[in-house]
């Protein structure tokens, strides 16, 4: 089932089940801001805005700002440059009805939670796909989208 535009919390499906969001400690510059797997149990300061485009791709906003694949890492972009990445969000029904992979529009990389990244920043790299039908993805490449509660 395709994901509808809306306000969501995004959570890793790996063993940490960390929420994904902008780093809680940010400098005050207008440079892009890291998007990380937060410590277990910590909620992001703001939910994600998911906008489905007419071409079926998505713009994902963290803390109200669009995200981009910059040097194979996930960033929230505060200025118009670099441009936001259009993401392809694909259901992973073998995990859950609300589980998805997130890939850049050219398919060269997708979101991956890694333990070796500084500050647990989300990597954007080629996804590992197990040869089965439906395809199998490691939990570090699958994300759960839950509609954010209304305040």
pLDDT one-digit tens code per residue, 70-83:
999 999 999 988 99
Structure tokens at 86: 């259009």
DSSP H helices, the chain, are: none
- 35 phi/psi in degrees, rounded to 5: -110, 125
Confidence of residue 2 (pLDDT cuts 50, 70, 90): confident
pLDDT of 88 over the 90 cut? yes
Pairing of strands 110-112, 123-125: antiparallel
d(CA 18, CA 125): 19
Query: Before 134, cis peptide (omega within 30)?
Result: yes
Confidence of residue 24 (pLDDT cuts 50, 70, 90): confident
Place of tokens 């995200």: 67
CATH architecture of 6-147: Trefoil (2.80)
pLDDT recorded at residue 118: 57
pLDDT one-digit tens code per residue, 94-134:
888 999 999 999 999 999 998 765 568 999 999 999 888 88
For residue 99, count other CB atoms closer than 10 A to its CB: 19
What is the pTM assigned to this prediction? Answer: 0.93
Bridge partners (DSSP) listed for residue 66: 61
Query: Before 120, cis peptide (omega within 30)?
Result: no
Domain ranges of the chain: 6-147
Confidence of residue 151 (pLDDT cuts 50, 70, 90): low
């Amino acid at each position: 089932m395709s994901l509808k535009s809306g306000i969501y919390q995004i959570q890793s499906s790996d063993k940490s089940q960390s929420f994904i969001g902008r780093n809680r400690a940010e400098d005050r510059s207008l440079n892009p801001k890291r998007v990380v797997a937060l410590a277990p149990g910590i909620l992001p300061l703001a939910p994600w805005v998911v906008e489905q485009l007419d071409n079926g791709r998505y713009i994902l906003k963290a803390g109200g700002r669009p995200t981009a694949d910059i040097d194979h890492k996930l960033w929230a972009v505060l200025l118009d440059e670099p441009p936001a990445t259009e993401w392809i969000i694909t259901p992973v029904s073998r995990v859950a009805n609300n589980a998805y992979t997130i890939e850049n529009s050219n398919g060269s990389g997708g979101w991956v939670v890694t333990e070796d990244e500084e500050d647990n920043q989300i990597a954007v790299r080629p996804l590992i796909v197990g040869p089965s039908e439906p395809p199998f993805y490691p939990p570090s490449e699958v994300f759960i989208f839950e509609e954010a509660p209304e305040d």
